[in-house]
Amino acid sequence: MPPCLDVYVRVPERNSEILGRFIHTYVNVAISDERLHAFMRVHILGIANDTDVKIINDVRLNDRDEAFTLYLRARDHHHAIITFTRDGATVLGLSIDAPDDLPETLRQAEQPAE
């Protein structure tokens, strides 16, 4: 596996539309585990059941903390990362290949998503 570079974008709030678009664009939903599906029902679709809430609570740092990170399988990259921060923000990330041409990789990482 070539070296990877993690690229993150901070979104100041939790936005179901942005989360859904990130997952649809970058996450391989078909091979992801139940945590992703529970996350989608809780935070995107708003149709969570008790099992979904328990799954999400299990990934939290502690019972009093809303912060957590999901490391997911990506479509075209090594990993996709979704973090909910303590201050209510969302951080979206991708682990991308960082081959020998690091300046070109950094240029691509700075391009906005379409």
Residue 84 has pLDDT above 90, yes or no: yes
Yes or no: say if 48 and 66 are a contact pair by the CB < 8 Å rule: no
For residue 10, the model assigns a pLDDT of 95
Band (pLDDT 50/70/90 cuts) for residue 94 is very high
- Provide the pairing of β-strand 4-11 with 68-73: unpaired
For residue 113, the model assigns a pLDDT of 63
Q: Rounded CA gap, 80 and 77, in Å?
A: 7
> In the numeric block, which tokens belong to residue 48?
């969570």
pTM of the model: 0.82
For residue 83, the model assigns a pLDDT of 95
Residue 64 has pLDDT above 80, yes or no: no
DSSP string, 12-61: SS--HHHHHHHHHHHB-GGG--HHHHHHHIIIII----HHHHHHHHHHSS
Domain regions of the chain by residue span = 4-109
Q: Rounded CA gap, 101 and 93, in Å?
A: 21
Q: What percent of the chain has pLDDT over 70?
A: 90
For residue 5, the model assigns a pLDDT of 79
Residue-wise pLDDT tens digits, 15-51 = 999 999 999 999 999 988 889 999 999 999 999 899 9
- Mean of per-residue pLDDT scores for the chain: 87
